[in-house]
Amino acid sequence: MDTTAERIAIVGLGYVGLPLSLQFARSGVPVLGLDIDSTKVEALKGRKSYIKHITDEAVAEQVDSGRLKVSTEFARVREASAVIICVPTPLNKNREPDISYILNTGQAIAPHLAKGTLVVLESTTYPGTTDEDLRAVLEAGSGLRAGVDFHLAFSPEREDPGNPQSVVARIPKVVGGLTPACRERAVALYSRAIQTVVPVSSCRAAEATKLLENIFRGVNIALVNELKVVYSAMDIDVWEVINAAKTKPFGFMAFYPGPGLGGHCIPIDPFYLTWKAREYGQHTRFIELAGEVNTAMPEYVVNRVAEALNAQKKPVNGSKVLVLGLAYKPDVDDDRESPSYTLLDLLKQRGADVGYYDPHVPVIRPSREHSHWAGTRSVPWTAETIGGFDAVLIATNHRAVDYQQLAQWVHCIVDTRNAMAAVPIKLGQVWKA
């Protein structure tokens, strides 16, 4: 097939699908963006972005050019010769993989697939999802056979919101296909928009690659989180140790502690493999131990808040505590799986009068996990408001925050991100956690 003439449909216009849509459009490939959320579709039609690190101008350029069109009508995949699925893969309430978004998307597009169409899954998931679960719903709904009548592949997303070095076109793209022909077709498609494409032997190898990447981060973050607690007991600053260790030019990679894990990848993806491994009688002890360490961090941090308040002869119960930073990482508006919500819950359970400040998240949006906080607004950044809190807990180190002002306004700061390292402070003013 001549891939230079094709039009692609990208299902899911969130933090993965929208940047990918814009990159393909910039590369001259006509894109049809599909999403069940009509507010996203209407925003894009109005040439507006709803993701902080993607500008209105970037959206407007591709919409005005006609290369990016958007819709809520999934039947329109019949207009496309390739379909890329970028939908969420959360954990359910029992911490088990929830691939319902993938399967529902497959069922929605299957009746409209034509022979020769390429379907690529980008959502992070366990090995076997593409060639077993997604394949089954596509074949049942279309009457076509994967690898014979249509192509099927997996290519994991590698988005890193807020990182200026994370440019879609320059991040190598791993691609695995159900058959060699499926892989070749997917490689040809991605090569039109991505500078480096890395073929692997199968969909499962590509699925496993993404899991390894995120498990690597999760395990190493757990290691430094554990060392943070151990070194603190020894009156050693783990941040100083990490900064010294990373001067070694080989054999060491710096990871940094924090108040817990957040985002759509690292707190979730490792447990996709843990769950699937049980099917093969395998136990993922490193992954499970890392999960235990990271999950325990918010409780440790809140205990440090209690210690800091006790030093001022104040109990947690009745004290005003501000959580600074609601987004799960610096300089983004993405609050998915943010440990800040757990911190707010734990502090409130101990009787604290809690609030939050985040310049990128002015109001908490409705979500499945934290609906009780929906509608809560970020407090104003003023000396009167911020100075009225008994303690400020830095959970996310946004660059937009003036930490010099924070030091002038607040007597008690609990810092989980080493954000106050370069700021002049008074003795006993900052507690690391």
Q: Do both 359 and 273 map to the same domain?
A: yes
Q: Choose one of 146, 165, 200: the last residue of a domain.
A: 200
Query: For tokens 């073929």, what's the residue?
Result: 199
Residue (of 419, 422, 257) closest to 339 by Cα position: 257
β-pairing verdict for 173-177 and 151-154: antiparallel
| 160 and 247, same domain (yes or no) | no
The answer, yes or no, to whether residue 263 has pLDDT greater than 90, is: no
CA angle, 292 as apex, 339 and 208 as ends, to 5°?
A: 90
Residue 91's pLDDT is 85
Catalytic positions are 265
Asked if the model's pLDDT at residue 4 lies above 70, the reply is no
pLDDT at 326: 97
Residue 206 lies in a domain: no
Q: Are residues 224 and 343 in the same domain?
A: yes
Rounded to two decimals, the pTM is 0.91
User: 30 with 168, same domain?
Assistant: yes
Instruction: Report pLDDT for 303.
Output: 98
| Residue 269 pLDDT level (bands cut at 50, 70, 90) | confident
Q: Which pLDDT score, from 0 to 100, does residue 3 have?
A: 53
The CATH number for 100's domain is 3.40.50.720
User: In the listed set 138, 168, 200, which residue is the last one of a domain according to the structure?
Assistant: 200
Please tell me whether residues 309 and 230 are part of one structural domain: yes
Provide the pLDDT for residue 396.
Answer: 97
Residues 195 and 264 in one domain: no
DSSP letters for 387-412: TT-SEEEE-S--TTS-HHHHHHH-S-
Note whether residue 207 is domain-resident: no
Q: Is residue 12 part of a domain?
A: yes
DSSP secondary structure, 73-142, as one string? -GGGGGG-SEEEE-----B-TTS-B--HHHHHHHHHHGGGPPTT-EEEE-S---TTIIIIIIHHHHHHHH
Which residue, chain included where needed, has tokens 């407090």? 379
- Whether 159 is covered by a domain: the verdict is yes
Last residue in a domain, options 200, 227, 254: 200
Average pLDDT of the chain is 95
Predicted confidence (pLDDT) at residue 76 exceeds the cutoff of 80: yes
Residue 354 CA to chain centroid, in angstroms?
25
pLDDT score at 153: 98
Same domain, 60 and 140: yes
**153 lies in the same domain as 235:** no
Tokens found for residue 237: 């600053």
76 within a domain of the structure (yes/no): yes
Predicted confidence (pLDDT) per residue in 376-412, tens digit: 999 999 999 999 999 999 999 999 999 999 999 999 9
Average pLDDT on 198-218 reads: 97
Q: Please name the residues in contact with 21: beta carbons below 8 A apart, sequence gap of 6 or more.
A: 10, 13, 31, 33, 62, 68
Note whether 263 and 89 are within 8 A (CB): no
205 in a domain, yes or no?
Answer: no
Distance CA 206, CA 375 (A): 39
- Looking at the fold, whether 241 and 330 belong to one and the same domain comes out as yes
* 165-205 pLDDT per residue, tens: 668 999 999 999 999 999 999 999 999 999 999 999 999 99
192 and 288 inside one domain? no
Could you tell me if residue 209 is inside a domain?
no
Provide the residue range defining the domain that includes 135.
3-200
Is residue 80 within 8 Å of residue 117, measured between CB atoms? Answer: yes
| Whether residue 358 sits in one domain with residue 280 | yes
Name every residue whose Cβ is closer than 8 Å to that of residue 241 and which is 6 or more positions away in sequence: 227, 231
What's the number of domains the chain is made of?
2
Residues 35 and 117 in one domain: yes
How far from the centroid of its chain's Cα atoms is residue 16's Cα?
9
Domain membership flag for residue 245: yes
